[in-house]
Amino acid sequence: MDKTKSSVVKGIPGSPGIAIGKVFLIEEDFPVVLKKIPKSMIKKEISRLHNALSQVREEMYLEKHKILKVLGKEHAPLADVYLRILDDPILKKDVANRISEEGINAEHALSATIEKVVQSFEKIEDEYFNERKNDIQEVGKRILRHLMGSQRKYINEANADSTIVAHNLTPADTVALYEHKVSAFAIDIGSKTAHASLLAQGLEIPAVVGLKNITAIANNGDDVIVDGNQGLVIVNPDDETLENYRKEHEIEQQELYELKKLRNVAAETIDGHRVTLTGNIDSIKEVKSILDSGAEGVGLFRTEFLYMNRDKLPSEEEQYEIYSSIAQKVLPYSLTIRTIDLGGDKLAKFGFDDIVAEDNPFLGLRSLRLCLKYPEVFVVQLKAILRASAKGKIKVMFPMVTGLAEFRQAKKIFEETKEVLRKNIQDFDENIKLGAMIETPSAALTADAIAREADFLSIGTNDLIQYTLAVDRVNENVAFMYEPLHLSILRLLRHIIEATHSAAKLVGMCGEMAGDPAFTTILMGLGLDEFSVPPIAVPKIKKIIRSSSIADSKKLVQEIFGTDDYNTVVNLLRKPHQKG
């Protein structure tokens, strides 16, 4: 075989990025031979199998502990899956039966059993389930390795330049990869959601999976390019290809470096005006992306997802666990929790049968209104939030407040809940901040009154725009009328921000408008104190803030308010208004 022959193998992009390195091949071939075992030796053969099983079990236990220690709890289930497979009655009984009934060696009996199970998995049409056969094959190989006394090549022999080429990655490899940096992976099997892909994404290294036979094509030490963007692996690339990829890799590294540099700097304008840049999340899973993005905590945690896809309300304990764990993870920053913002229909399935279908659910019993009607549901959440506030910096805000009276009513329940906790001698943060979301025109117009009694305000632009312009943005006949730059919206925003500042309070924004780079300067110019945006938008928004000046942003706002013509506003925003 011509060693320098270049080959391009197409797979599935598992994790983005480009890596240029040397092949580090993890070989998996175990030729299993059939041996006849004399009757007198059968017992010994079976105990050889049991020995191998317990050795592998021990090895997997050690790995599981290592995984728990290095990767944390959420990765442990994979190790559990392997352990369960190892303890599966099919493996234990079926293999032993084969040995004694057919009078064959443990290796062959094991291979035959694994083969049988894998075949039944192959019949499954669902791709996800079909793929699980890999886990079983992996465990089978581990046992074989012990039976045959052969050793797998270990990843800790690889270096930072190595591209791991393997049939599949085991949990042990996973741990090794966290402790030992490599440049990329190229894997025979797998899909976009396979363990190897998720691992690579977590490690932020490129990966291509589903390459089918890359282990047969690549040899140890070959030059290799892993293009995780397009799902290509090029073994022994020619000079031109190598050069092109080197350039692309450099550009990528440069961009990455720029964004990483931003991670640890403040969201501050060139003339020293500082705003707070936080992130929006729906679940605990997104906390990592918040921390990685360089956001200063969570500005909006939507708790609705806790109430979806289930038939029982989440308990106080369950909510407490989630809130306190997120609050601890984002320290030293704070976590702002928005209380239940659900439509009535979502609550109906929990047995509230007096909730009926409404003609206009957006103008109906939802969100804070629902909580005030069913305080028993509301109080459970408030208790969980308050208890969690002892563990970190937590703020609470009520969604869809329509006026001062309603805010007071909800605040009263909040205060009463605190009193209950005090009586029970349960810890909470006595200085916990309580805010109101401004997302209805009525709240916007009375923001001055609400701001006097709330600790902070947060503007929800999606609903505010829909309610103000009377436009359902999902309705395709009118969606084009949804316009954040409508004069009414600009005026409301100015009023909300000025009113909050007059009350000496801070005001943030967590709607889509905050995360849209087109509006960053105008919002800064209006005086917004906090931008809460999706984690992925954090570096982009930060970059804009850091390249603008507050003086120019204020001037821009002045010019915008000097006209009532929409097109002029749009043109003003397009004009380069950033210095430098």
Q: Is 285 in the site for another protein (CB under 8 A)?
A: no
Of 85 and 225, nearer to another protein (C-beta) is: 85
For residue 213, the minimal CB distance to another protein (Å) is 25
Catalytic residue among 75, 146, 195, 371: 195
Separation CA 502–CA 35 (nearest Å): 88
The residue within the footprint of another protein, chosen from 45, 107, 135, 552 (CB under 8 A), is 135
Minimum distance between the CB of residue 117 and another protein, rounded to whole angstroms?
Answer: 5
Count CB atoms within 10 A of the CB of residue 492: 22
**Least distance in angstroms from the C-beta of 84 to another protein:** 4
List the x/- string, 446-485, binding to another protein by CB under 8 A. ----------------------------------------
SS3 395: strand
Q: Considering the rule CB under 8 A, would residue 555 count as an interface residue with another protein?
A: no
For residue 85, give the H/E element and its range: helix 76-86
CB of 85 to another protein, least distance (A): 6
H-run or E-run covering 162: strand 162-166
Q: Which amino acid appears at position 121 of this protein?
A: F
Tell me the closest approach of the beta carbon of residue 135 to another protein, in angstroms.
6
362 within 8 A of 472, measured Cβ to Cβ: yes
Q: Which of 8, 34, 68, 90 binds another protein (CB under 8 A)?
A: 90
Q: Is residue 154 within the footprint of another protein (CB under 8 A)?
A: no
335 sits in which H/E element: strand 334-338
Report the alpha-carbon distance of residue 405 to residue 103 in Å, rounded. Answer: 83
Catalytic pick from 75, 167, 371, 510?
510
The window from 86-94, 210-218, 298-306, 476-484 that contacts another protein (CB under 8 A) reads: 86-94
Q: Which is nearer to another protein, 197 or 440 (CB)?
A: 197
- In angstroms, rounded to a whole number, what is the distance separating the alpha carbons of residues 304 and 159? 45
Task: State the nearest-atom distance from the C-beta of 575 to another protein, in Å.
Answer: 47
- Choose which of 61, 129, 154, 257 interacts with another protein (CB under 8 A): 129
> What tokens does 110 get?
């094991």
- Using CB under 8 A, pick the residue from 28, 59, 88, 483 that binds another protein: 88
Smallest distance, another protein to C-beta of residue 2, A = 41
Span from 51-59, 78-86, 166-174, 351-359 in contact with another protein (CB under 8 A)? 78-86
Q: How far is the CB of 20 from another protein (least distance, A)?
A: 34
Nearer to another protein, 165 or 313 (CB): 313
Q: How far apart are CA 557 and CA 498, in angstroms?
A: 13
CA distance 78 to 82: 7
Instruction: Round to whole Å and give the CA distance between 181 and 184.
Output: 9
Query: Considering beta carbons, is residue 324 or 532 the nearer one to another protein?
Result: 324
Stretch that binds another protein, among 4-12, 15-23, 88-96, 382-390 (CB under 8 A): 88-96
For the four alpha carbons of 66, 69, 73 and 74, in that order, the dihedral sign comes to negative
What six digits make up the tokens of 329?
């993870």
Q: Which stretch binds another protein (CB under 8 A): 84-92, 141-149, 349-357, 394-402?
A: 84-92
Cα gap 407→415, rounded to integer Å: 12
Stretch that binds another protein, among 25-33, 125-133, 398-406, 417-425 (CB under 8 A): 125-133
Q: By CB under 8 A, is residue 286 in contact with another protein?
A: no
Q: What is the 3-state secondary structure (H, E, C) of 215-276?
A: HHHCCCCCEEEEECCCCEEEECCCHHHHHHHHHHHHHHHHHHHHHHHHHCCCCECCCCCECE
Binding flag, residue 136, another protein (CB under 8 A): yes
- The count of other CB atoms within 10 Å of the CB of residue 337 is 25
Active site residue 371: no
Closer by beta carbon to another protein, 91 or else 469: 91
Burial environment of residue 448 by CB neighbours within 10 A (0 to 12, 13 to 18, 19 or more) = middle
Q: Rule CB under 8 A: say whether 8 interacts with another protein.
A: no
Size of the site for another protein (CB under 8 A): 27
| Shortest Cβ 15–another protein spacing (Å) | 20
> In the complex, what is the shortest distance from the CB of residue 129 to another protein, in angstroms, rounded to a whole number?
4
Instruction: Reply yes or no on whether 195 is catalytic.
Output: yes
What's the N-to-C CA distance of the chain in angstroms? 57
Cβ contact 558:281 at 8 Å: no
Instruction: Report if residue 56 touches another protein, rule: CB under 8 A.
Output: no
Query: Which H/E stretch holds residue 507?
Result: strand 506-509
Residue 264 engages another protein in binding (rule: CB under 8 A): no
Member of 41, 68, 72, 77 binding another protein (CB under 8 A):
77
Is 87 a residue that touches another protein (CB under 8 A)? yes
Give the residue with the Cβ less far from another protein, 40 or 309: 309
Nearer CB in complex with another protein: 170/458: 170
Q: How many whole angstroms separate alpha carbon 17 and alpha carbon 186? A: 13
Q: With left for phi above 0 and alpha for psi between -120 and 50, is residue 209 left, alpha or beta?
A: beta
Q: Could you say whether residue 351 binds another protein (CB under 8 A)?
A: no
| Residue 366 DSSP code | B
Is 80 among the residues that bind another protein (CB under 8 A)? yes
What's the burial of 155, exposed, middle or buried (CB within 10 Å: 0-12/13-18/19+)? Answer: buried
Angle at the Cα of 389 from the Cα atoms of 325 and 511, rounded to 5 degrees: 80
Q: Which of 4, 40, 120, 431 binds another protein (CB under 8 A)?
A: 120
Which residues are 433's β-sheet partners? 395
Query: Following CA atoms 414, 420, 426, 430 in sequence, which dihedral angle do they give, to the nearest 10 degrees?
Result: 40
Q: How far is the CB of 305 from another protein (least distance, A)?
A: 12
Between residue 397 and residue 436, which ones bind another protein under the rule CB under 8 A?
none
Q: What is the dihedral of CA 362, 364, 369, 372, to 10 degrees?
A: -150
Site for another protein in 304-343 (CB under 8 A): 309-312
Distance CA 448, CA 440 (A): 14
Regarding 128 and contact with another protein (CB under 8 A), the answer is yes
User: Which residues have a catalytic role annotated?
Assistant: 195, 510
Binding site for another protein (CB under 8 A): 77-78, 80-81, 83-85, 87-91, 117, 120-121, 124-126, 128-129, 132, 135-136, 309-312
